[in-house]
Chain A
Amino acid sequence: MEKTMMFFILLLIIMIAVFNLVSMQVMLVNEKTSDIAILRTLGATSGMIMRIFLIQGGLIGTMGIFLGAMFGIVLASHVTAVVNLLQNIFHIQFISADIYFLNYLPSKLLWSDVWHIVSVSLGLCFIATLYPAYRAAQVQPAEALRYE
Chain B
Amino acid sequence: MSSIILSAANICKSYHEMNEKITVLKEVNLTVHSGEMIAIIGASGSGKSTLLHILGGLASPDSGVVLVENQNMATMQERQRCHFRNRYLGFIYQFHHLLPEFSILDNVCMPLWIGGVSSEHAKNQALDMLERVGLTARRKHRMAELSGGERQRAAIARALVTGPRCILADELTGNLDHATALNIVSLMKELTRETQAGMILVTHDLSLAAMCHQRYTLRSGELLIVE
Contact = CB atoms under 8 A, between A and B. Distances in A.
B110 to A, nearest CB: 6
Given A46-B78, A141-B58, A38 B86 contact: no
A45 interface: yes
Nearest to B82: A45
Given A41-B56, A41-B58, A146 B49 contact: yes
Given A37-B96, A42-B111, A43-B114, 17 more contacts: A34-B96, A35-B96, A41-B58, A41-B91, A42-B86, A42-B158, A43-B82, A44-B82, A45-B78, A45-B79, A47-B79, A48-B114, A141-B53, A141-B58, A145-B49, A145-B58, A148-B96
Contacts of B99: 35, 38-39
Interface residues of B, number: 24
A35 to B, nearest CB: 6
Interface in B120-148: none
Contacts, number: 56
Contacts of A42: 85-86, 91, 110-111, 114, 158
Contact of A44 (B89, B91, B93, B114): B114
Q: Taking chain A's interface residues, is the majority helix, strand, or loop, or is none over half, making it mixed?
A: helix
A38 B154 CA distance: 14
Q: Taking chain B's interface residues, is the majority helix, strand, or loop, or is none over half, making it mixed?
A: helix
Interface of B: 49, 53, 56, 58-59, 78-79, 82-87, 89, 91, 93, 95-96, 99, 110-111, 114-115, 158
A43 B111 contact: yes
Given A34-B96, A44-B82, A46-B78, A39 B114 contact: yes
Q: Which of A35, A39, A43, A45 has the most CB of B within 10 A?
A: A43
A46 B115 CA distance: 14
A142 interface: yes
Contacts of A145: 49, 53, 58, 93, 96
- 7 smallest A-B Cβ distances: which pairs? A43-B86, A41-B91, A142-B59, A142-B53, A42-B111, A142-B58, A45-B82
A44 B99 CA distance: 14
18 contacts: A38-B93, A40-B58, A40-B82, A41-B91, A42-B86, A42-B91, A42-B111, A42-B114, A43-B82, A43-B85, A44-B86, A44-B114, A45-B79, A47-B79, A142-B59, A145-B49, A145-B53, A148-B96
Contacts of B82: 40, 43-45
A41 B85 contact: yes
A94 B113 CA distance: 60
